[in-house]
Structure 1
Amino acid sequence: MIPKRIGILIPSTNTSVEADFKWVTSKAVTAHSERLAIPDGTMTPAFLDQMNQDLAAKVASVASASMDLIAYACTSGSFYRGPAWDEQVHDLVQRTAHVPCVTTSTAVMDAFQALDVQRISVITPYPQWTNDKLAAYYGQQGMDVLAVHGDVRAAAQGHRAINDQDPDDIIQFALDHFDPDAQALFCSCTAWRAVECVTALEAALGVPVITSNQATIWAALRQLDMLHAAQPLGRLFTRSAVC
């Protein structure tokens, strides 16, 4: 059997997406990354503009390996210009690669809808301007964003360091900042090792926990009708499997 191939477009400083795909998926699915060059340091809109400037060429490169789907796996890179930009990214990828595309920001929104949640509490490793953009994006999509808390420790040494924050620190930050009126917790950023926190946080908080990488993997596998090829990762996978 030929495995389903998923192309992943990721920031060049990100080392978490590939590891999470490998951890969650089986041999029936393989993931193949293309890196989008971005400088390290304090994240700015200009950094994201630079990362996206040669997006079409990067899509064509990974698509040349005969992908079944391509995932644009950068949360802030798909929401920082608003919903219209996310749609542009989606359309550019599909038009260039001639295969389906998922973007992380839309995958997260689809996850909210699949879990029938409206009120969300959000934690991130982002600076404040990015948190504001996130709240605006999901607010425009109809979500009730109760709170967005950014852990400034994560990127204190530059955004590449987000990949190195211990999952136990993410769990504690979530427990300290979760809004009890929320129906779900969203841990944003594909560089954050939040996938490793899902089981513990759902047990502690009693609500669904959605992370950027978890939602991206789920959306990609659902598009390919391959959810059975993944280990269940939180309520997102177990609930949607029976819906």
Structure 2
Amino acid sequence: MSHTPPPARLGFLYPGHAAEDDYPLMGSMIEPPAQITLIHTEFLEDAHTVEALSEMGSVSRLSKGAEALAGSGIESVMWTSTSASFVLGLDGIRQQIDTLEKLLGVPASTTAMAFARAVKAIDAKRVAIAATYPEEVAQRFRAFLNHFDIEVVHLASRGIITAAEVGLLEKDAVIEFALANVREEADALLMPDTALHSSAWLTDLEQAIGQPILTANQVSFWEALRLCGKLSPQSGLGSLFEHMPED
């Protein structure tokens, strides 16, 4: 008789409202289904600017969100904003992770760090980026990836200011944006915005572009499972979930 492992209990801190429904959807798509606890964090301004994102990802904002997760029984916690972690640099990300781990006593990470690990997990050396952000913020994502020796061969910026607007992009628009920015010399395409819906369309996206695709909510969910030791091969969530990391 085979033993079914207990479901993963995953915590997510998500700024505002945009594509947070990707997380319970992914939780229902894996076997066994994961238990998702998602807390919406607050911020002063919904804007993809360095100033607004720095405030959004501040220790005080994350600490308040963590308080709402205390006692929930989660096994790992993610700060699910790519830009409101990488704009703060590696030291800022480390502070975010340390804050969450100390407050909640479980492994923690951020979406930006999840991207770096996911790129390595699929053994991608060169990547293209299709970013919904304005140019200044998108360039900071490139700089973040450079710290991990990930070569960016193409970077596109869609220039959308608010997460709310990004969350309204539908399947056809997301696939079109991906297709416009896939590059033959790249090993994968990255779409770094947790406000962007993608989870229901990962198979269609990869089939359309003919390459592995890494999206923000996908890598966040993958990282949450990895952190608590419950990552296993899954179908329907892209090539990433077919590659198991060595550590």
TM-score (norm: length of structure 1):
0.88
Return the alpha-carbon distance in structure 2 between the equivalents of residues 233 and 139 of structure 1: 26
Q: Write the mapping of 1:24-173 to structure 2, written as runs, cut at 5 A.
A: 24-26=29-31, 28-39=33-44, 41-51=46-56, 52=58, 53-152=60-159, 155=160, 158-173=162-177
How big is the shift at 1:240? Answer: 2.1
- C-alpha displacement of 1:198: 2.2
What amino acid is aligned across from residue 23 of structure 2 in structure 1?
Answer: E
Point out where structure 1 has 5 or more consecutive residues left out of the alignment: none
Give the whole-Å Cα distance in 1 for the aligned partners of 2:108 and 2:204. 30
Tell me, in whole angstroms, the C-alpha distance in 1 between the residues paired with 2:35 and 2:188: 30
Greater displacement, 96-105 / 8-17:
8-17
Change (3 A) 1:20 1:126: farther
In structure 2, what is the Cα distance between the partners aligned to 1:24 and 1:110?
22
Number of paired residues?
240
CA distance in 1, matches of 2:223, 2:185: 26
- Within 1, Cα distance between the matches of 2:91 and 2:26? 27
Q: Secondary structure at the match of 1:190?
A: coil
Given that 2:233 and 2:242 are in contact with CA atoms closer than 8 Å, whether structure 1 keeps it comes out as no
- Asked if the contact 1:123–1:148 (Cα under 8 Å) also holds between the matched residues in 2, the reply is yes
* Conserved? CA contact 2:43–2:61, under 8 Å: no
Q: Deviations over 1:103-130 (max 9, x none)?
A: 1111111111111111000101101111
1:202 lines up with 2:206 in the alignment: yes
- Please give the alpha-carbon distance, in whole angstroms, between the structure 1 residues aligned to 2:125 and 2:104: 33
SS at match of 1:93: helix
In structure 2, what residue type is equivalent to 1:68? E
Larger mean CA deviation between 106-115 and 1-10 belongs to 1-10
- Which of residues 3, 12, 15 is equivalent to 1:11? 15
Instruction: Kindly state the Cα deviation for residue 169 of structure 1 after the two structures are TM-superposed.
Output: 0.6
Amino acid in structure 2 at the alignment position of 1:171: I
**Cα deviations by residue, 1:30-53 (Å, 9 ceiling, x for unpaired):** 111111112455422222233233
Q: Tell me the CA shift for residue 147 of structure 1.
A: 1.5
- Greater displacement, 96-105 / 39-48: 39-48
Matches within 5 A, 1:177-216: 177-216=181-220
Task: Tell me, in whole angstroms, the C-alpha distance in 1 between the residues paired with 2:67 and 2:192.
Answer: 27
Match of 1:222 in 2: 226
Of all paired residues, the percent bearing the same amino acid is 24
My pick for the range that moved more, 173-182 or 42-51, is 42-51
**TM norm structure 2:** 0.87
Task: Sort the Cα spacing of 1:229 and 1:239 in 2 relative to 1 into closer, same or farther, 3 A.
Answer: closer
Aligned residue for 2:115, secondary structure, equals helix
Relative to structure 1, is the Cα distance of residues 142 and 79 closer, same or farther in structure 2, using a 3 angstrom cutoff?
same
2:179 corresponds to:
175
Alignment check: 8 A CA contact 2:19 2:196 kept: no
Q: Is the 8 A contact 1:21 1:31 kept in 2?
A: no
1:136 & 1:182 partners in 2: Cα distance? 17
Q: Secondary structure at the match of 1:191?
A: coil
